[in-house]
Structure 1
Amino acid sequence: MSAPVFLPPTSYDYVTVHKVQGTTMTTASDVLAAEEPLEIRVGYGPTGEREHRTLSITMRTPGHDFELAAGFLLTEGIIHGRQDLHGVIYCPDVEKEDERENVVRAELAPTATPDLPRLERHFYTSSSCGVCGKTSIDAVHAAACPVLPTAGPYIDPAVIHQLPERQRAAQALFEQTGGLHAAALFSPAGELLLLREDVGRHNALDKVIGAALFQEMLPLHDAVLLVSGRASFELVQKAAVAGIPVLAAVGAPSSLAVQAANDFGMTLCGFVRQGRYNVYCHEWRLQSAGQEVE
């Protein structure tokens, strides 16, 4: 059974459009995916000596904002587990009431010891490019990514073929707008575990990882991740931080994504569509348990 999909009313907008077919123009209503800025603030320090600062501004589709913030904090190495995060709220001290749902504050646990130089760096993420500034895989290794399992999980190659259709069937917002990326977690048998949508593919993955963090599912050593676009270095990095051993993408991987996945021990599949896909590294996981790949 597919996981329930929550569709916030602010995640889409209705607009009037003019449709042209041949020489005929008609007026119709259309649905667009909403895109609004989200400011992520962070509070840290011992009780009575708390400090607050802005950490990131990202363009996102409203909805699952707390999960987005939590996933971002985890994949950027600000926190290392659920125990480091006290909670996430909409910031109550925003002056303009209509902007309060576009500003969240993540309160770290008083015992958490965040990397202060990392906090002092102001991230800017966009819905299209993700977190910029990472220039080497070594920098990601330094973020203490979990070690991926070296014995399984084993995935029947036929299961990978089924994932895009199962993902699309659960994309309620995509069906409304046609303009969103999705990230979905599946079991090795192909059962849908979690799915999130966003105008930004990196945001969609952060939302999934944040949801898994809140549900205490990390590390995701028995999960398969499917992303709706191409497989970038940043997506491989985020998946590795969450402990995901298999990443499949509808689009193509970049050369750095393949290099990173190979170094992390992650199985990477690309062009998963129309009954075919490529496996770029660690193909040994794509087999029935106990069978060898020829």
Structure 2
Amino acid sequence: MLSLTPHPLLTFDGEAVTAWADQLVTEEPLELRLVAGEEERPVSVTMRTPGHDEELVLGLLYAEGVIEQASDVLAMAPWCEGDQTQPNVMRLQLRSGLEALAALSRHTFTSSACGVCGTGSIERLAMRAAPGVWTAGPLTPELICDLPRRLGEQQVLFSATGALHGAGLFTPQGEALVVREDVGRHNAVDKLVGWALKRKLLPLTNHVLVVSGRVGFEIAQKAAMAGLSVICAVSAPSSLAVAVAESFGITLVGFTRTRRFNVYSLPERLSLPGVTGPAVSHS
């Protein structure tokens, strides 16, 4: 099973812009539901690339100390009703029954009904987040290309260790307001949002989030919650991150290098030259 999702994008190569279709890695949530007798309870959601889900669940349960061997899982299968199957919901029957709830406490708890999918995640996010607003004028390709360098200049711990992710909050002029580092890419973004929250700066209208790695759902979700309008990443986004960006009015730029980058959503916030290649939609 190849978990790939096609998506149209624009590539700036230092001189021209080309429209084409790329393959994004698919990201979707997997909800775990524990069954004990007549009782069934949703206990956690983890984001993942679909495929080998049973192995993922076994590894997660083992790491959390819920099981000691595979046989501790008495039954495991995707949720189904009649001829309808929901592959993003896994029903489990464990030897330990509902006692596993305590062991899974550090994961994201959910009370959502069956039907968890990328769309469902975005719908739940829409209850708390509003589309980003950008009134600062278009960003130049030269500025976008230079943002990872500006972020890297302030990653003191990464320079010393090479082992941390970085996230920076920038103005439309490319000024770094704050840069934070952490072993967890999501934690670095949380630190930025916490910094802004303490200063009563939310929503972060007309700000750019720059991250040193890839963009998955959680980073896109955090950006949407903070009201950010532009995300610039050194690496690639996932399919669900792009879906969040499109849903919440976020310009998402990836594979940012010295003279090139890809635009996955809302390219109108960038002052790009004319586009060549087949016509594609970014709506």
TM-score (norm 1): 0.52
Residues 262-290 of structure 1: per-residue CA shift (max 9 Å, x gap): 111100000012421100110000129xx
Larger RCO: Structure 1 or Structure 2 (Cα < 8 Å, ≥ 6 residues apart)?
Answer: 2
Number of paired residues? 163
Deviation at 1:240, TM superposition (A): 0.7
- Change in Cα spacing, 1:150 to 1:159, as seen in structure 2 (3 Å) is closer
From 223, 230, 248, the counterpart of 1:239: 223
Deviation at 1:222, TM superposition (A): 1.3
Deviation at 1:154, TM superposition (A): 2.4
From 175, 178, 185, the counterpart of 1:201: 185
Report SS of the residue matched to 2:256: strand
Matches within 5 A, 1:121-160: 122-124=105-107, 136-142=121-127, 144-149=128-133, 151-160=135-144
Distance in 2 (alpha carbons) for counterparts of 1:156 and 1:163: 11
Distance in 1 (alpha carbons) for counterparts of 2:190 and 2:199: 14
* Partner amino acid, structure 1, of 2:205: H
Contact 2:169–2:210 (Cα < 8 Å) also in 1:
yes
Contact 2:134–2:205 (Cα < 8 Å) also in 1:
no
Distance in 1 (alpha carbons) for counterparts of 2:105 and 2:136: 38
Matches within 5 A, 1:212-291: 212-287=196-271
Deviation at 1:152, TM superposition (A): 4.6
Larger Rg: 2
Residues 140-160 of structure 1: per-residue CA shift (max 9 Å, x gap): 112x20331164542122111
Deviates more, 1:269-278 or 1:242-251: 269-278
Report SS of the residue matched to 1:226: strand
Distance in 1 (alpha carbons) for counterparts of 2:274 and 2:171: 21
* Structure 2, unaligned runs of 5 or more: 1-103, 109-115, 276-283
- Change in Cα spacing, 1:208 to 1:278, as seen in structure 2 (3 Å) is same
Report SS of the residue matched to 1:273: coil
Contact 1:153–1:222 (Cα < 8 Å) also in 2:
no
* Partner amino acid, structure 1, of 2:207: A
From 139, 157, 161, the counterpart of 1:177: 161
Distance in 2 (alpha carbons) for counterparts of 1:271 and 1:224: 16
Partner in structure 1 of residue 92 of structure 2: none
Deviation at 1:216, TM superposition (A): 1.6
* Structure 1, unaligned runs of 5 or more: 1-120, 126-132
TM-score (norm 2): 0.54
Contact 1:287–1:293 (Cα < 8 Å) also in 2:
no
Report SS of the residue matched to 1:272: coil
Distance in 1 (alpha carbons) for counterparts of 2:168 and 2:220: 14
Report SS of the residue matched to 1:248: strand
% of aligned pairs identical?
47
Distance in 2 (alpha carbons) for counterparts of 1:275 and 1:257: 24
